[in-house]
Structure 1
Amino acid sequence: MNANAIVQKLWRLCTVLRKDGITYQQYVTELTYLLFLKMMAERNREEGNIPPEYRWAALVKAEPLHKLKLYRNALTALGDPEGSLPRMVQAIFDNASTFIREPQNLTTLVTAIDELDWFSEERDQFGDLYEGLLQKNAEETKRGAGQYFTPRVLIEVLVRLMKPKPGEVIQDPAAGTGGFLIAADKVMREATDDYFTLGTKEQEFQKHQAIHGMENVPGTLRLLLMNLYLHDLDSDHVDLGDTLSDKGKTLGKADLILTNPPFGPAGGAPTRDDLSVTATVSSYQLPFVEHCIRALKPGGRAAIVLPDNVLFEDGRGKELRRMMMDWCDLHTILRLPTGIFYAQGVKTNVIFLTRGKTETGNTDDVWIYDLRAQMPKFGKTNHLTDAHFTAFEEAFGSDENGTERGEEQGVEGRWRCFTREEISARGDNLDISWLRELEEEAEEGLIEPEDIAAAIQAHLQAAMLEIEALSAELEETTLAEAPEAGE
């Protein structure tokens, strides 16, 4: 049975557990615990990781009433921070508890997992299976998972264009469930026969040093660690923490950053002392961009998913864009279609940049590809595919630093070049569009209540971001004009 078939079968079991009041996200968390135990048994890795009394075989054999008690005890014991189990096991089961109340429901789930054929003749299916479950969860939940789950097709496009290479440190400071890190590792494995063509030292680096990430939500970190482990990736440099706090400094310098940071209010300004440009900004997206600029090594590159306001916001937003174009070669902006993040009204972009060796004058031209205007409505029933990105990939060219370009298409096309002087004349506003975007007509065509609500919410969020930016700018002006003590 292939991974897709397994995903569909396991997902259908969620309807059984809904009787226990379990949500989709709780179901995926529950599956994470059970699949981890099953995986350890399948891969013969229980020794040293899972005490005998809590192993999969013991759970399968237990009677229904005892099974639920055994399972609850296992979750507590495996996540005990005072225990002697490996860090990865403790992290996955940290503060774990089951949402299942009916013993028969646990029996149904354990039996179904135990009876599935997990392995194809050629390769382990666990990684594909788990990512499939994460994607189903994101598709079903407009909030929660959908906020941090980047569409797989977009991840694969960005990884292809950025060309991760063995020996590079690859970082995602807002790692979510690990999509970017895993996709980058997959590309490098395919290029090196699963790293077998590398020397011993190089193999060790790839398995234990190459991947760096941080995630601020404990429940999401659990899914991230499970995803990494199922893809045979070490998680020593993936940690729980706020990237915008001092802990974010521990991520270190990177050769490549791939990330989709959170959008919206952050509940306060960054607490890191090195984020000087965005020190007073109380939203996520601007400080995360400054982190990426500062975290890149000279010559390092990044692809960052961002909302529209980063491209046009005044005050600190404008100062950040100037820093970005001075310190880096901001060579490409991709205007993404709406609806691809499971919410119709959210407007996003991808910025592609390369860190310069100096901190002045690194951007000469910015190329912009408009994949938003005059595009079909995307959503749950109309998915974005690789084919939608084909023309952009051809225009971007084969060089990851944007030095090989397709021909400029002018005002009638999607691909245009703007000089640094032209951008400066616009007040360093990078929110540039030239094709007519019939947004109003597109929103008039929405019929699903959840899509209509998402469009309204996106408009309100954009308005709130502008209000926050204006408030911050006014506050800075007030502080600057206030007389110093003793005057």
Structure 2
Amino acid sequence: MTATSTIVAKLWNLSKALQGAGVSYQGYITELTYLLFLKMLEETKHEERLPKGYRWADLVSKGGVEQLDFYRKLLLDLGNSKIAKDPLVSAIFTDAQTALRKPTDLKLLTTTLDELDWFSARDDGLGNLYEGLLEKTTSEKKSKAGQYFTPRPLIDSIVRLVKPQPGEVIQDPACGTGGFLIAADRYIKSKTDELFKLSAEQAHFQRCEAFGGAEYVPETRRLCLMNLQLHGIESSVGDIDSLSSDGEALGKADLVLTNPPFNKMPQSVSRADFSITADERVGPLPFVEHVIRALKPGARAAVVVPDNVLFADGVGARLRTWLMNMCDLHTILRLPTGIFYAQGVKTNVLFFTRGKTDEGNTKAVWVYDLRANMDAFGKTRPLNVEDFAGFEKAFGADPYGKAKRKDEGEEGRFRCFNRKKIEDRNNNLDITWLKDTEATAEEGLIEPEDIAAAIVGHLKAALAEIEGLSEDLEVEVVAVAKKEAAE
């Protein structure tokens, strides 16, 4: 067990002690974010980012009710940009409040943090420690996992395939806790000897300008900012809605990596530059339009989407047609079930490249079925890097999907469908050929939380289909009414 995993285990065990005090897993991680930020600035000798009198030593020097009262004031003041001049500090502590009610609970946390082996943790990487805590949260509460955490094996596989490069602008318009941006940064650092092979100017760009994006949920953005900072990424992630007018300000990117929300939200898209999904409810379809518009000519993207993006009629069909015209949609990965139950739908990854013209960019789509005849994924069978080995080999070494590929036929997992065949399917991209044994696979689930998550997933998927049908009927009714009024 590494020093980092030992510390993660110790910190996670504290959450059990605080559950009786009414602190949830999510609340506990948020609480730790505040305290770890203070402690890590002390450990890394960067306390100048904090105003004097608001540092770790000031907090731990107090006890009892005095400490808890000081902590509450500290959270309030550090979120005030007039007191905390450092923009990252004020962003992390904006609207911060503690869920702790007892002075003894705060003292337990501060004492435990003080006693940890920080020397070894720094050697392993403080960012890895924090990421470990985030992963613990989601693994403990699977039904919440998809809200802000994409499985790391999936992220790492995608990043290995698209090969982010130094100097590229990399964007995630729905950052969550920053998993894609951090993985891209990690990949680039592995190829550049931790940026030492780059010039000073290039290294500064990588740390401060290469990565960007947005996260609209305040608590999740807080976790994202902390995560980026601990991984040495100074780039900012905005607290904006990418599907509002603010989303245009994200600018153009060389690479977009994202796992946007799967569910439709009550509010509608309000982007003046949108034409395909304008006035659509906020959800996966408008996010795909954002990604396409955010790509520079020749730039590439990998986007996690639910199944209905592949087959939805109406706006969905128009979006797919537009996507295949504007971009080379070269690869679709059908993901296994059991890794995104929170959203209640089956998922895929779309790999595409923005064309240098706006017409006829997709000549053929390769589909890899990693869903049929797969294990039931859950607590007892987690997703791991080996699960993507076959797909990565079939995808090839070209990040634009241009490597030589082999159609494996009806018995294989990787097949090619030319544009004519897709047009004959009315541009429906929900393409299957292997026998789907999903039901049999789910019978193998044994953990109660996995079984419950599967049930919730199917119920949410059914509800999403009903909502989609209802919306289609409403559109038809409005169209008929307009036609009759015109006559």
1:336 aligns with 2:353: no
- What's the counterpart of residue 77 of structure 1? 77
Amino acid at match of 1:164: P
- What's the counterpart of residue 322 of structure 1? 321
In the TM superposition, residue 53 of structure 1 has moved relative to its aligned partner by 2.0
In the TM superposition, residue 343 of structure 1 has moved relative to its aligned partner by 5.0
Which range is displaced more, 310-319 or 477-486?
477-486
- What's the counterpart of residue 38 of structure 1? 39
Paired residues of 2:167 and 2:206 also in contact (CA < 8 A) = yes
Residues 55-104 of structure 1: CA distance to partner in whole angstroms, max 9, x if unpaired?
11122221233221221111111112443421110110111111111111
Paired residues of 1:254 and 1:297 also in contact (CA < 8 A) = yes
- What's the counterpart of residue 366 of structure 1? 365
Amino acid at match of 2:164: P
Paired residues of 2:340 and 2:347 also in contact (CA < 8 A) = no
- What's the counterpart of residue 239 of structure 2? 240
C-alpha distance in 2, partners of 1:486/1:433?
A: 43
- What's the counterpart of residue 258 of structure 1? 257
C-alpha distance in 2, partners of 1:198/1:35?
A: 31
Note the aligned Cα RMSD (angstroms).
1.9
- What's the counterpart of residue 248 of structure 2? 249
Residues 367-405 of structure 1: CA distance to partner in whole angstroms, max 9, x if unpaired?
011000000100122111111111110000000001113
- What's the counterpart of residue 5 of structure 2? 4
Amino acid at match of 2:209: Q
Amino acid at match of 2:358: E
Amino acid at match of 1:265: K
Paired residues of 1:72 and 1:98 also in contact (CA < 8 A) = yes
Give matches, 1:289-328, under 5 Å.
Answer: 289-328=288-327
Amino acid at match of 2:29: V
Residues 427-468 of structure 1: CA distance to partner in whole angstroms, max 9, x if unpaired?
111101111111222333444443333323323333333333
Amino acid at match of 2:306: P
- What's the counterpart of residue 125 of structure 1? 125
Paired residues of 1:353 and 1:401 also in contact (CA < 8 A) = yes
Q: Secondary structure at the match of 1:119?
A: helix
For residues 239 and 360 of structure 1, do their structure 2 counterparts lie closer, same or farther at Cα, with a shift above 3 Å needed?
A: same
C-alpha distance in 2, partners of 1:343/1:279?
A: 27
In the TM superposition, residue 477 of structure 1 has moved relative to its aligned partner by 4.0
Amino acid at match of 2:265: A
C-alpha distance in 1, partners of 2:351/2:146?
A: 23
1:17 aligns with 2:18: yes
| Number of aligned residues | 485
Amino acid at match of 1:242: D
In the TM superposition, residue 124 of structure 1 has moved relative to its aligned partner by 5.4
C-alpha distance in 2, partners of 1:317/1:156?
A: 28
C-alpha distance in 2, partners of 1:298/1:480?
A: 37
1:404 aligns with 2:403: yes
Amino acid at match of 1:321: R
In the TM superposition, residue 235 of structure 1 has moved relative to its aligned partner by 3.0
Unaligned runs of 5+ residues in structure 1 are: none
- What's the counterpart of residue 56 of structure 2? 56
- What's the counterpart of residue 176 of structure 2? 176
- What's the counterpart of residue 417 of structure 1? 416
Paired residues of 2:340 and 2:346 also in contact (CA < 8 A) = no
Amino acid at match of 1:140: E
C-alpha distance in 2, partners of 1:81/1:144?
A: 32
Q: Calculate percent identity across the aligned residue pairs.
A: 56
Paired residues of 1:266 and 1:282 also in contact (CA < 8 A) = yes
Amino acid at match of 1:303: A
Unaligned runs of 5+ residues in structure 2 are: none
For residues 406 and 207 of structure 1, do their structure 2 counterparts lie closer, same or farther at Cα, with a shift above 3 Å needed?
A: same
1:165 aligns with 2:165: yes
Q: Secondary structure at the match of 1:54?
A: coil
Q: Secondary structure at the match of 1:331?
A: strand
C-alpha distance in 1, partners of 2:199/2:116?
A: 37
Residues 17-63 of structure 1: CA distance to partner in whole angstroms, max 9, x if unpaired?
1121111000000100000000111111112x223322111222212
In the TM superposition, residue 421 of structure 1 has moved relative to its aligned partner by 0.5
1:225 aligns with 2:225: yes
Q: TM-score, normalised by structure 1?
A: 0.95
Which range is displaced more, 274-283 or 84-93?
274-283
1:386 aligns with 2:385: yes
C-alpha distance in 2, partners of 1:103/1:36?
A: 20
1:92 aligns with 2:92: yes
C-alpha distance in 1, partners of 2:149/2:453?
A: 16
1:282 aligns with 2:281: yes
Q: Secondary structure at the match of 1:457?
A: helix
Paired residues of 1:367 and 1:416 also in contact (CA < 8 A) = yes
C-alpha distance in 2, partners of 1:146/1:204?
A: 32
- What's the counterpart of residue 444 of structure 1? 443
Paired residues of 2:153 and 2:383 also in contact (CA < 8 A) = yes
Residues 251-296 of structure 1: CA distance to partner in whole angstroms, max 9, x if unpaired?
1001000000001121132011222111132241000001001110
For residues 469 and 342 of structure 1, do their structure 2 counterparts lie closer, same or farther at Cα, with a shift above 3 Å needed?
A: closer
Which range is displaced more, 387-396 or 75-84?
75-84
Paired residues of 2:174 and 2:215 also in contact (CA < 8 A) = yes
Which range is displaced more, 273-282 or 7-16?
273-282
Q: TM-score, normalised by structure 2?
A: 0.95
Amino acid at match of 2:31: E
Amino acid at match of 1:410: G
Which range is displaced more, 81-90 or 20-29?
81-90
- What's the counterpart of residue 197 of structure 2? 197
- What's the counterpart of residue 26 of structure 1? 27
Which range is displaced more, 74-83 or 172-181?
74-83
C-alpha distance in 2, partners of 1:72/1:396?
A: 52
Paired residues of 2:256 and 2:300 also in contact (CA < 8 A) = yes
Amino acid at match of 2:22: G
Paired residues of 1:244 and 1:270 also in contact (CA < 8 A) = yes
Paired residues of 2:302 and 2:349 also in contact (CA < 8 A) = yes
Q: Secondary structure at the match of 1:53?
A: coil
Q: Secondary structure at the match of 1:333?
A: strand
In the TM superposition, residue 320 of structure 1 has moved relative to its aligned partner by 0.4
Paired residues of 1:344 and 1:378 also in contact (CA < 8 A) = no
C-alpha distance in 2, partners of 1:40/1:447?
A: 43
Amino acid at match of 1:15: K
C-alpha distance in 1, partners of 2:263/2:35?
A: 34
C-alpha distance in 2, partners of 1:122/1:89?
A: 21
C-alpha distance in 2, partners of 1:124/1:77?
A: 32
Q: Secondary structure at the match of 2:255?
A: strand
- What's the counterpart of residue 107 of structure 1? 107
C-alpha distance in 2, partners of 1:145/1:277?
A: 30
